[in-house]
Structure 1
Amino acid sequence: MAQPKKNSSSPAAQYFAEVLRMLRTKAGLSQNELGERMAYTGAAVSAVETCAKPATDEFIEAAEKALEAGGLIAAAAKYLRLERYPAHFQGFVQLEQEALSVSSYCVVLIDGLLQTQEYAQRLFDHAFPPLEEDEVDRLVAARMERRALFDRKPIAVTNVILEESALRRLIGGPEVMRAQYEYLITCSERQNVTLQVMPSARAGHAGLPGPMKLIETPEQISLVYLEGQGNSSLVSKADEVGVLARRYAMIRSQALGPEESVGVIEQLAGEL
């Protein structure tokens, strides 16, 4: 006797599918009827309910509206969206999107929160092992979604320190970098964003041990996220966080001020 095929989709995808199915059934709608309300086919609804295809943002929004779900579908989709990020990064994204403040020190690349879509695209194009095109699209879209932090209420404070060498790395070539520089300048004009550059001429400074991200949670708890080579760790012990927070403060004091930093970025843009 043939064994039933196991669902190999993620728990979050299965949970979302179950919520959608239950709400549709409660509303007394067939898959075709719900599809008509959403401007989708019944087959598209079936594909999501059976986890054959992932739910897109457009599908999620249409289902929430068509079923008058009161936020239930949107809440289930929150966990589904997390799966767009690499596994080691999913925990941090949750913290980042709810944080009172996010402070980053970046050594090799521009901070993901401040990347343009084209810059991020070129980064993932150079990933090793190579990624499939649809995987690249998924990762880029997920990275762009993180920008919601800038306009979230209550407003979040964002501090970013970039090594000059990260700014000089021409990811995607001159055209992509010119747009990236312009976007950095635009971000720096936000009241809740402070952007600083660590000049390459400062050979010795407190940031030499490597990059870090400091998070202040809504409960006013301080955490530090460390990442490298596809691995990450979240530092929560008060004494360790204290050391890293003081180190970050020293890095900030050694970096160029915000106005000087924007001047460096403008100069780099002019050199292209």
Structure 2
Amino acid sequence: MARVAQSKKKDSAPPTVQYFAAVLRLLRERAGLTQDELGALMNYTGSAVSAVETCAKPPTDEFIDAAEKALDAGRLLRSAIKYLRLERYPAHFQGFVQLEQAALSVSSYCSQLIHGLLQTESYAREVLLCAFPPLDTDEVERLTEARMERKSLLDRKPMAVINVVLEEAALRRQIGGAEAMHAQYAHLIECANRPNVVIQLMPTSRAGHAGLQGPMTVIEMPDETPVAYLEGHGKSILMSKPDEVGVLARRYAMIRSQALGPEETLGVIEQLMGDL
């Protein structure tokens, strides 16, 4: 029964995870090592090596580095990291995240939740725990880790410019309770003080505004080509036609003009944090 379960797990794993597992096993066997012996060289257990080879768990960056060194793999294993990282994201999001990480600027309007690039780990985990149908524990942790990895864009050189307009309701929704939100507000203040991040609030008192049709993101690529992204209920649309993207870019400009300025927004966040 255990072998059947392992086989099902392996067959359902993403293709890159399956390929990495096969290459790892091939290199290990060529080196004449058992799983326990390889694990000892890596400072991992043999069962940890087995979990990766059977696709029970995807390899972490640290595991890959350790295996690369132990097997002297000539970067054969290390080169898989960026592809394995991509598969940590939902299938509908993978195309966008590649563009996001290469972007010159990311401009988003968020109506329900705080933008993923600005979320704390605790907030992100609580959001994923609210998913329906529910996600299992491993999936929640995998997606939380992936979301945290996206935040490397904030520190990338050259800097990417991040513009985010948040609906007031998204700020007031206490995901994870008071303690988690206090940390999230503090993190937003920290982000807002970065030279490459602008956060604006769309107040509830603004009864009508250009963002009522839903959340959206416009990104500018290194070749200065803008791309737009729409997402909802596990589905997404990437738009690259100049006329379509142009409409959304102009709409976003209007949304920004209707929102509170960065300093006013910072004041509201500080007030919300103080009220907890």
- Whether TM-score is above 0.5 comes out as yes
Paired residue for 2:269?
265
Paired residue for 1:233?
237
C-alpha change, 1:266 and 1:79, in structure 2 (3 Å) is same
Paired residue for 1:130?
134
Paired residue for 1:182?
186
What residue identity is the alignment partner of 2:113? Answer: L
Distance in 1, matches of 2:166 and 2:257, equals: 13
Paired residue for 2:65?
61
Question: C-alpha deviations, 1:137-165, integer Å up to 9, x for none?
Answer: 12111111111111122221111110111
Give the TM-score, by structure 1 length.
Answer: 0.90
Contact kept, 8 Å, 1:225 with 1:232, in 2: the verdict is yes
C-alpha change, 1:243 and 1:51, in structure 2 (3 Å) is same
Paired residue for 1:155?
159
Question: C-alpha deviations, 1:51-100, integer Å up to 9, x for none?
Answer: 34321232123223334545442331222222222221121111111212
Aligned sequence identity (%): 69
C-alpha change, 1:233 and 1:269, in structure 2 (3 Å) is same
Distance in 2, matches of 1:22 and 1:94, equals: 30
What residue identity is the alignment partner of 1:117? Answer: E
Contact kept, 8 Å, 1:185 with 1:262, in 2: the verdict is yes
Contact kept, 8 Å, 1:226 with 1:232, in 2: the verdict is yes
Which structure 1 residue ranges, 5 or more long, are not aligned? Answer: none
Paired residue for 2:114?
110
Q: Tell me which moved more, 171-180 or 58-67.
A: 58-67
SS in 2 for 1:147: helix
State the Cα distance separating 1:199 from its structure 2 match.
1.3
Paired residue for 2:3?
none
Question: C-alpha deviations, 1:185-242, integer Å up to 9, x for none?
Answer: 0011111111111111111211111110111223322111101111110011110001
Distance in 2, matches of 1:253 and 1:25, equals: 62
Q: Tell me which moved more, 147-156 or 16-25.
A: 16-25
Contact kept, 8 Å, 1:16 with 1:77, in 2: the verdict is no
Distance in 1, matches of 2:132 and 2:23, equals: 36
SS in 2 for 1:97: helix
Contact kept, 8 Å, 1:164 with 1:197, in 2: the verdict is yes
2:156 maps to 1:173: no
Question: C-alpha deviations, 1:24-54, integer Å up to 9, x for none?
Answer: 4666655444323211234432432343432
SS in 1 for 2:135: coil
Paired residue for 1:49?
53
Give the TM-score, by structure 2 length.
Answer: 0.89
Figure out how many residues of one structure are paired with residues of the other and give that number.
Answer: 269
Contact kept, 8 Å, 1:19 with 1:76, in 2: the verdict is no
Which structure 2 residue ranges, 5 or more long, are not aligned? Answer: 1-6
Distance in 1, matches of 2:72 and 2:269, equals: 47
Paired residue for 1:146?
150
**1:53-92 alignment to 2 at 5 Å?**
53-69=57-73, 71-92=75-96
CA RMSD of aligned residues (A): 2.2
